[in-house]
Amino acid sequence: MGLTDIVEYLICPVCGAGFDLGDRVLRCAQGHAFDIARQGYVSLLTGSQAPGTADSTAMVAAREAFLGAGYFGPLAEAVAGACRTGAKVVADAGAGTGHYLAGALDRLPGAVGIALDVSKHAIRRAARAHPRLGAVVADVWRPLPVGDGTVDVVLNVFAPRNGAEFARVLKDDGVLVVVTPTSRHLEPLVERLGLLSVDESKERRVAESLSGHFVETGRSVHEFGMTLGHGAIEAVVGMGPSAWHTEPEVMRRKIMKLPETSNVTASFRMSIFQPAP
């Protein structure tokens, strides 16, 4: 079970103590207990406060179908290549189905992965994405249930950024890998289907969210073409932010009016950060 590999790096969200792994339960020294789901993940969400926006079952299924088909393969390779050689603990904040974290673990023999996402639907998938991956339901906007200075690499792919928490869990020589879409991402579908576009201030907001905690040490743009049929287009739309703002049937009708296949641009910016001195 993946949680066995990462339990030593987790902390209780109530009191901050470490955990022991029991029979289907994580229990801290103060007696706070969290049941392990039969799918192998654990939820460390606490309190009655509603968590941040979580991907729905349909969004998760769309993401698994699209990523599983390999359309974003070049990006997954780039993310894995950005992970520091010799890294032993990789955390993915906003891990989704665990696709990018699993790719990184494939490149890092012996490393373990902590998948963190607020969506239990996504984390169920992540729990079986890789044998060395442990899956945890957690809200990136809240304190992460991960110990201070325990992580070598934090991945943040199309997800919210909590600069203070990323800095806390990273080792002094750790690396933060942030991936965001550029304004060219999913051209020409954005215009043809009326999808949400990437606003011009995205890059500035990424920098501001990490300011004071991190220093950017590298940046690259990864852009490649994809040939997508109607089903793949429906999946890529259904897994992204536009899914929150469109009716599936309305979007399906729009997609059916497109040519049988469309040439679509995938375009991403990847930035590498290190903790500020």
- Return binding residues for S-adenosyl-L-methionine: 72, 97-98, 185
Helix (H) or strand (E) holding 267: strand 261-275
Give the residue numbers of the binding site for Zn(2+): 12, 15, 28, 32
- DSSP letter at 9 equals G
Beta-strand relationship, 214-229 and 261-275: antiparallel
d(CA 134, CA 157): 18
Give the residue ranges of DSSP H helices in the chain: 2-6, 57-68, 73-82, 99-107, 120-126, 163-169, 189-193, 202-210, 230-238, 248-256
Which of left, alpha, beta for 194 (phi over 0: left; psi -120 to 50: alpha)? Answer: left
Give the residue numbers of the binding site: 12, 15, 28, 32, 72, 97-98, 185
Inter-axis angle of helices 99-107 and 73-82, to 10 degrees? Answer: 50
